[in-house]
Structure 1
Amino acid sequence: MQSVAKEFPVKTGVDRKDRRELAKMLTKIIGSSHVLYAKIRGVHWNVVGPAFYSLHKMTEEQYEDLNEAIDDMAERIRAIGFQAPTGLAEMMEHSVVKDQTKLLPANDMVKELVEDHDSVSRLLREGVAEAEAAEDVKTADLLTERIGVHEEAAWMLRATIS
């Protein structure tokens, strides 16, 4: 099979230029979500101490949710006519979340996850504003829902290490 994803002509009422900018923003959100996903998995696998069980279960729920959300956002890029990102290098290039470079104590790992969820929440707010300006209500709704998920995740992690 020689098929390669390419831009589709889409005529849904959102200008191509606006859709292109939204695809770029979604790529940044997907990249950030991928890096966060990897960091959450690292905490899930490596957490030890008195909060092990609760953090192990909580992080599993978070990375499973992120996996589905990443797929939804990539499919949204395709639905608005553009290519979804591929490869880890592209994900990391566009991420506002920094990669985990060494194993940290559990509290420090969780503090980083809190900061990362907050960073993704801020990025999502930018994405919502961009989608609303382009009158792309579907993308705005998708990203608005994600804000609440990240804010709740940060709250639960904060409460765990308080």
Structure 2
Amino acid sequence: MSDTSQTMSIDIGISDADRKELAAGLSKVLADSYTLYLKTHNYHWNVVGPMFNTLHLMFEEQYNELALAVDQIAERIRALGEPAPGTYREFAELSAIEEDTDRPDATEMIRRLVVGQETVARTARSMFDVVERADDQPTADLLTQRLQVHEKTAWMLRSMLA
């Protein structure tokens, strides 16, 4: 009978130090993404005004996409052998996205979501030096997909402010 308290070492061609650095960066992407998910869901519930239906539906699409994304990001962290953050406290410590302390109007919601989408994009983009150094194609692919989503969503939201 094997001792299940011992774990096998990870040998995927990425050094332990690089795996830890990749996971730390992905943890920030995860925290930003989850914080943006909460903000977007909050706005979905609380938006009012002439753009209600459009924004209510748009925000729902965005938070549903983010809900899937946080799972993919967390699973990549786990595949690298590190624990994924998963508490509000951890997310608050890691995220560069500010929580709201007020109830913004619809236009301000859109503006803040642009800022949030762009923040996640910058956090994801900041990881490419370590991703390239570690030759980590799965993380590069994940981050590239996330950048495409966040940059497109920021553009669409920003267009509503013109």
Shorter-chain-normalised TM-score: which range? Answer: over 0.9
Maintained 8 Å contact 1:43/1:110:
no
Larger radius of gyration: 2
Counterparts of 1:49 and 1:75, CA distance in 2: 38
* Equivalent runs, 1:46-65 vs 2, <5 Å: 46-65=46-65
Q: 1:87 to 1:137 in 2, by over 3 A?
A: same
Counterparts of 1:8 and 1:73, CA distance in 2: 22
Q: Secondary structure at the match of 2:23?
A: helix
Maintained 8 Å contact 1:128/1:144:
no
Pair 1:21 & 2:18 matched: no
Q: Secondary structure at the match of 1:97?
A: coil
Q: Secondary structure at the match of 2:103?
A: coil
Q: By how many angstroms is 1:156 displaced?
A: 1.1
Counterparts of 2:7 and 2:20, CA distance in 1: 10
* Equivalent runs, 1:139-154 vs 2, <5 Å: 139-154=139-154
Q: 1:7 to 1:127 in 2, by over 3 A?
A: farther
Counterparts of 2:50 and 2:8, CA distance in 1: 52
* Aligned CA-pair RMSD: 1.7
Structure 1 stretch 127-136 or stretch 11-20: which is displaced more?
A: 127-136
Unaligned runs of 5+ in 1: 1-5
Q: Secondary structure at the match of 2:19?
A: helix
Maintained 8 Å contact 1:8/1:81:
no
Q: By how many angstroms is 1:8 displaced?
A: 5.9
TM-score, length basis structure 2: 0.92
* Equivalent runs, 1:5-154 vs 2, <5 Å: 9-154=9-154
Maintained 8 Å contact 1:8/1:82:
no
Unaligned runs of 5+ in 2: 1-5
Counterparts of 1:133 and 1:7, CA distance in 2: 27
Counterparts of 1:7 and 1:32, CA distance in 2: 30
Please list the CA deviations of residues 99-158 of structure 1 after superposition, one character each: whole Å capped at 9, or x if unmatched: 111101111111011011111111111123321221111001101110010011111111
Maintained 8 Å contact 1:129/1:140:
no
Please list the CA deviations of residues 51-110 of structure 1 after superposition, one character each: whole Å capped at 9, or x if unmatched: 111111111111101111100010011111111112110011000111111101111111
Q: Matched residues, percent identical?
A: 43
